[in-house]
């Protein structure tokens, strides 16, 4: 009779540890596959040099799921500027005149990026090509990131 009790005790002991090991394995697998990750998007315009002269204004930009870009830019120069193009995945030409120190907005620039799903995260490198009264073909490059609108 004592042997039966020892056998039952050993079986219960092994079952308890077996379930615990199984639970730890499942949680570890879920963590490894990032099921619990927040997948939050960073939202911001960064990477532009302090010496860049035509840059986005703060976070005044949006990228729609159909690839339409709206971006606010500021001219930090003491001379007039003409924005010739904004490049993300392809070049889109939209002429924008900015007086010295003036803010402006490039909006409804369709087809800048490839189509995506609303709410997906993006990080895109943006190059703004502009001309001044003295020099042509200047470039300002940085990144924008957020969620498709």
Q: What integer pLDDT is reported at residue 23 of this predicted model?
A: 93
Please state the separation of Cα 78 from the chain's center in Å: 32
pLDDT at 49 over 60: yes
Helix boundaries (H) for 33-70: none
Half-sphere exposure of 46 (CA within 13 A, CB side): 6
Q: What is the pLDDT of residues 61-113, one digit of tens each?
A: 777 777 777 777 777 777 788 877 777 766 666 667 777 766 777 665 655 55
Please state the separation of Cα 18 from the chain's center in Å: 43
Q: Domain segments of the chain: what residues? A: 1-37, 44-147
Banded model confidence at residue 51, pLDDT cuts 50, 70, 90 = low
Spatial separation of the C-alpha atoms in residues 15 and 48, rounded to whole Å:
60
pTM, rounded to two decimals: 0.60
Banded model confidence at residue 22, pLDDT cuts 50, 70, 90 = very high
Could you give the 3-state DSSP secondary structure of residue 23?
Answer: helix
The CB density around residue 73, as the number of other CB atoms within 10 Å, is: 23
Q: What is the CATH number of domain 44-147?
A: 2.60.40
Q: What is the mean pLDDT of residues 103-127?
A: 70
């Amino acid at each position: 009779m004592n042997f039966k009790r020892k056998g039952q005790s050993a079986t219960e002991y092994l079952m308890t540890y077996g379930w615990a090991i199984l639970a730890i394995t499942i949680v570890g697998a879920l963590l490894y596959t990032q099921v619990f990750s927040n997948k939050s998007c960073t939202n911001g315009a960064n990477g532009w040099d302090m010496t860049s002269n035509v840059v986005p204004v703060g976070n005044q930009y949006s990228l729609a799921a159909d690839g339409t870009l709206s971006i606010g830019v500021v001219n930090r120069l003491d001379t007039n500027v003409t924005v010739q193009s904004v490049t993300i995945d392809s070049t889109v030409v939209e002429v924008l005149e900015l007086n010295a120190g003036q803010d402006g907005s490039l909006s409804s620039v369709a087809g800048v990026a490839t189509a995506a799903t609303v709410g997906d995260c993006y990080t895109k490198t943006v190059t703004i090509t502009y001309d001044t009264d003295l020099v042509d073909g200047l470039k300002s490059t940085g990144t924008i990131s957020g969620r498709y609108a």
